[in-house]
Amino acid sequence: MSINVIGAGLAGCEAAYQIAKRGIDVKLYDMKPQKKSPAHKSDLFAELVCSNSFKADRVSSAAGLLKAEMRLFDSLLLKAADKARVPAGGALAVDRDLFSGYVTDALKNNEKVTFVSEEITEIPDGEIAIIATGPLTSDSFAESIYSRFGSALSFYDAAAPIVTLDSIDMDHAFFESRYGKGDGTDYLNCPMNKAEYDVFYDALVNAERAPVHEFDVRDPKVYEGCMPIEVMAQRGYDTIRFGPMKPVGLTDPRTGHRPWAVLQLRKENSSGTMFNLVGFQTNLKFPEQKRVFGLIPALKNVEFIRFGVMHRNTFLNSPKILNSDFSTKENNKIFFAGQITGVEGYMESASSGIIAGINAARRYYGKDSLSLPDTTMTGCLSSYVSDATVVNFQPMGANFGILPELINRPRNKQERGQAYADRALLDLKKYLESVI
């Protein structure tokens, strides 16, 4: 008897790995390479369809704490990230092809894992299964989920363009990380003065957008964390200047002063030949992206490897459907994992796969599910998606706001983050020693 994992994205791969390492056979299903969603391009597992960054790496940050907790669970994806790391200041960013290749090889070479290239359209019954089809679940399977649970939701997500380094005008760009963090080559900055920004801003807010097909979306929303740059800009002239284009901590070597606005580019691959436009998720039509972004002096003649795209993300109204172990209330042999559960972010998705995989394995062996300490980021995210008191459920990423307050709360933000991390990791280590 095996456990079925449906979806070879971030959560599904973590789940399959956790199950296999506990001696249980896994059937890992994915419709790739036979069929892909509009946002997927690669045949590899754990494809990163948006950014190549996993956010901050320092443990005193919420994102860093989550990754530290995942390492205690022997995260497969963080092993891959360490192998595929590219410079990104204080963030953990990866060469996406190397990252996905490592995960794919690790699972395809695991004797406990059998990969099946097949689109699943019905929720399996009578056996243990983890559904980790992600925010881009196929229409047919999404309909099956909706028919079964009656409360699937949707929002729209957007990805940023990727350009080639050799097409960037370096007379109008410079390498520097904000406040001197990193080795100084992590980010490529494209500065603008006020006149240049004014022209760019006017073009951006008036540019033509690609149509968004709403016929297959039940409750369309734009998630704040991946809001298209043109939508953000319409909130006000200074919105993006205080957001993704903020110039603080940077000095333009041409002028010796801080620019009026800055677009930052981050390495997309380990060789540094491709860069993505940080914070520039967009739904502009492709010719408009070339025209509008080309108004930034350093990008006047830039070559686009990939234009930005916007796509539908599907997630469950999880508080009505899931238990804190990611099993469903109606059938505890069926688990969900990943962004479809309403956790938001790459590592949040992967961490839910870890927990769902471990709990599925424990269900297989007749053991109780894990009951993670509420002082941990992993435990709080699990509790959030299963909290029946949540009325207007929306995706949630790692943040210190969901953790219980500290007894002796430091006033300094950095010290406060470290205190949260110290408490969480101590409690998680003690808990794991008691149950594993």
**Strand 91-94 versus strand 113-117 pairing type:** unpaired
- Residue in the structure block whose two tokens are 């690669």: 42
Note the pLDDT of residue 217: 35
Model confidence at 114: pLDDT above 90: yes
Count Cβ atoms below 10 Å from residue 8 Cβ, excluding itself: 31
Contact between 370 and 359 under an 8 Å Cβ cutoff? The reply is yes
Least confident of 108-117, 152-161, 318-327: 152-161
Higher pLDDT pick, 369 / 389: 369
Type of residue found at 384: Y
User: Given pLDDT bands bounded at 50, 70 and 90, which one contains residue 213?
Assistant: low
DSSP-assigned letters across all residues of 66-131: HHHHHHHTT-HHHHHHHHSEE--TTEEEE-HHHHHHHHHHHHHT-TTEEEEE----S---SS-EEE
Note the pLDDT of residue 152: 65
Average pLDDT over residues 18-45: 87
Model confidence at 54: pLDDT above 90: yes
- State CA 319 to chain mean position distance: 21
Least confident of 5-9, 68-72, 137-141: 137-141
Model confidence at 124: pLDDT above 50: yes
Closest C-alpha among 72, 158, 113 to residue 431: 72
Q: In what order do the strands lie in the sheet with 91-94?
A: 53-56, 91-94, 85-86
Contact between 96 and 52 under an 8 Å Cβ cutoff? The reply is yes
Domains of the chain and any CATH numbers: 3-151+317-435 (3.50.50.60), 159-215+228-311 (2.40.30)
Q: How many CA atoms lie within 13 A of 94 on its CB side?
A: 26
pLDDT tens digits, one per residue of 13-31: 999 999 999 999 999 999 9
Percent composition of the chain: helix, strand, coil (DSSP 3-state, to 5): 35, 20, 45
Model confidence at 215: pLDDT above 80: no
Contact between 153 and 135 under an 8 Å Cβ cutoff? The reply is no
pLDDT tens digits, one per residue of 280-317: 999 999 999 999 999 999 999 999 988 988 877 778 98
